[in-house]
């Protein structure tokens, strides 16, 4: 539960990490009320003055709270899978202080009233900050554009049809044209729907052996190619979500080289797991997009490291047990991701593929900058949204112990390194590791 805290708190003996400025140094940070008042290597060199609460970080990492740009929170409409409260508890346990929720709720977030309901409920709960995406098309039906201008004024960060692609090229062209006029961002689920229809896992030898219908890797690249051509026509800002294939990444690389306003994210399953995780019909590994080949997994990890992938998001897609404990063909897609986001992402650092700051950049200031959020950086006067973590402490993922309602983690049983010790939102400690 959120805790009240003293007006001023000094976090001392910390390894300060700020990817936005490149800071990586031992030092201290002072919060005053809801904001960061001061920080640096020499702060409190002569001791902390009286009247300030002191938190000794014991040499652990202190970084901006994580910014998770792709989360399904299921409220309103599917509270048996997740709620804003349980999602918020899971988020802060994972060091996430800001998250952006998809509009595929019931009702869909395609009008101002629903958008404001979600934002107001999250503020009242007072855990991680929640910012809604709004639907790009009314009812996510892919036919008629939502009232994007009004929704943006009401606080929608960007526009997406959530877990499904905007199928119609003409509708997508109109959405991009409208977005370009008003400086808005379109977020796409890049998967050609006709090619993916009926598919259950990655197309290939494994799917054939298991007798499961496959989703070809080409489905991703084909839709990205189409969308990039449409971006060229209208000049809009475009973001591809959870990119999972080498071919898709090549399309994005080429678009960036041409100077187009194109960004993308991926999620930990796509650089930490491959299709072998499906094993003997393991439904917790049934994700959308599906887990890919080992070649694709390595390509995604490389693209995160070289900056082709701008951000890492949890792609949190909670399901209830009744939706997952079914034969593979009938089980729902999706995996819980909030509480494993940091630890699995840190594998890129522990495997010496990336520096700690570069991993954190993909989790903090990079997604914040894509979405125009004032978050993800240590800055005087900025909101005191912080995470303190032990990057080397080992633990095993036990999904049944998650704070979130849903336990459908593709990482269940996996040994990982990196434990969140404390999460602070607006100067309040909202999570303390037991």
Domain locations in the chain as residue ranges = 64-371
Give me the pLDDT at residue 7, please: 87
Give me the pLDDT at residue 63, please: 98
β 96-101/129-132 pair status: parallel
Q: Encode pLDDT of 371-392 as tens digits.
A: 999 999 999 999 999 999 999 9
Measured between alpha carbons, how far is 179 from 219 in angstroms, rounded to an integer?
25
**The pLDDT of residue 282 is above 70:** yes
Measured between alpha carbons, how far is 424 from 5 in angstroms, rounded to an integer?
10
CB-count burial class (<10 Å; 0-12, 13-18, 19+) for 420: buried
Give me the pLDDT at residue 134, please: 98
CA dihedral 353, 358, 363, 365 (to 10 degrees): -160
**The pLDDT of residue 150 is above 90:** yes
Helices (H), 154-217: 169-182, 193-196, 205-210
- Percentage with pLDDT > 90 across the chain: 97
Mean of the per-residue pLDDT values for the chain? 96
- Percentage with pLDDT > 70 across the chain: 99
Q: Encode pLDDT of 303-333 as tens digits.
A: 999 999 999 999 999 999 999 999 999 999 9
Give me the pLDDT at residue 6, please: 53
Mean pLDDT of 333-349: 98
Give me the pLDDT at residue 1, please: 46
Give me the pLDDT at residue 287, please: 98
**The pLDDT of residue 171 is above 70:** yes
At the fourth CATH level, which superfamily is domain 64-371?
Answer: Metal-dependent hydrolases (3.20.20.140)
Neighbouring C-beta atoms of residue 364, cutoff 10 Å: 31
What is the phi/psi pair of residue 277, to 5°?
Answer: -65, -20
Q: Encode pLDDT of 227-258 as tens digits.
A: 999 999 988 999 999 999 999 999 999 999 99
**The pLDDT of residue 259 is above 90:** yes
Give me the pLDDT at residue 422, please: 98
Q: Encode pLDDT of 62-120 as tens digits.
A: 999 999 999 999 999 999 999 999 999 999 999 999 999 999 999 999 999 999 999 99
CB 67 within 8 A of CB 337: no
Mean pLDDT of 18-38: 98
**The pLDDT of residue 342 is above 90:** yes
Catalytic residue numbers?
315
pTM attached to this predicted model: 0.97
**The pLDDT of residue 35 is above 60:** yes
């Amino acid at each position: 539960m959120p805790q009240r805290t003293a007006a001023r708190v000094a976090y001392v003996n910390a390894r300060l990490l700020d990817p936005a400025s490149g800071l990586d140094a031992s030092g201290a940070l002072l919060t005053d009320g809801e904001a960061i008042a001061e920080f640096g290597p020499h702060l409190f060199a002569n001791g902390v003055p009286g009247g300030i609460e002191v938190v000794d970080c014991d040499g652990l990492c202190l970084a901006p709270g994580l910014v998770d740009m792709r989360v399904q929170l299921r409220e309103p409409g599917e509270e048996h899978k997740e709620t804003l409260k349980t999602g918020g508890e899971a988020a802060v346990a994972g060091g996430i202080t800001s998250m952006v929720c998809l509009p595929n709720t019931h009702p869909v977030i395609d009008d101002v009233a629903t958008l404001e309901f979600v934002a107001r409920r999250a503020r009242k709960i007072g855990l991680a900050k929640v910012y809604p995406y709004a639907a790009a098309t009314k009812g996510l039906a892919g036919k008629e554009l939502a009232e994007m201008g009004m929704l943006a004024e009401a606080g929608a960060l960007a526009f997406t049809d959530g877990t499904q692609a905007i199928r119609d090229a003409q509708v997508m062209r109109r959405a991009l044209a409208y977005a370009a006029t008003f400086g808005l961002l379109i977020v796409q689920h890049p998967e050609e729907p006709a090619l993916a229809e009926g598919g259950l896992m990655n197309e290939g030898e494994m799917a054939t052996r298991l007798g499961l219908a496959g989703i070809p890797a080409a489905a991703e690249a084909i839709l990205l190619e189409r969308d990039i051509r449409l971006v060229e026509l209208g000049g809009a800002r475009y973001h591809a979500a959870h990119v999972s294939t080498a071919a898709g990444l090549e399309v994005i690389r080429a678009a960036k080289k041409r100077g187009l306003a194109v960004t993308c994210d991926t999620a930990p399953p796509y650089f930490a797991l491959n299709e072998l995780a499906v094993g003997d019909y393991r439904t917790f590994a049934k994700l959308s997009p599906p887990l890919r080949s080992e070649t694709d997994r390595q390509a995604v990890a490389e693209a995160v490291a070289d900056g082709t992938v701008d951000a890492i998001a949890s792609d949190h897609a909670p399901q209830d047990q009744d939706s997952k404990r079914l034969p593979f063909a009938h089980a729902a897609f999706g995996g819980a991701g909030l509480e494993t986001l940091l630890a699995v992402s840190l594998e890129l650092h522990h495997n010496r593929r990336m520096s700690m700051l570069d991993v954190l950049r993909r989790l903090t200031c990079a997604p914040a900058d894509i979405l125009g959020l004032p978050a993800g950086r240590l800055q005087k006067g900025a909101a005191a949204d912080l995470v303190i973590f032990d990057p080397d402490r080992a633990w095993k993922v036990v999904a049944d112990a998650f704070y979130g309602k849903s336990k459908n983690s593709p990482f269940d049983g996996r040994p990982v390194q990196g434990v969140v010790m404390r999460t602070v939102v607006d100067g309040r400690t909202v999570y303390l590791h037991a």
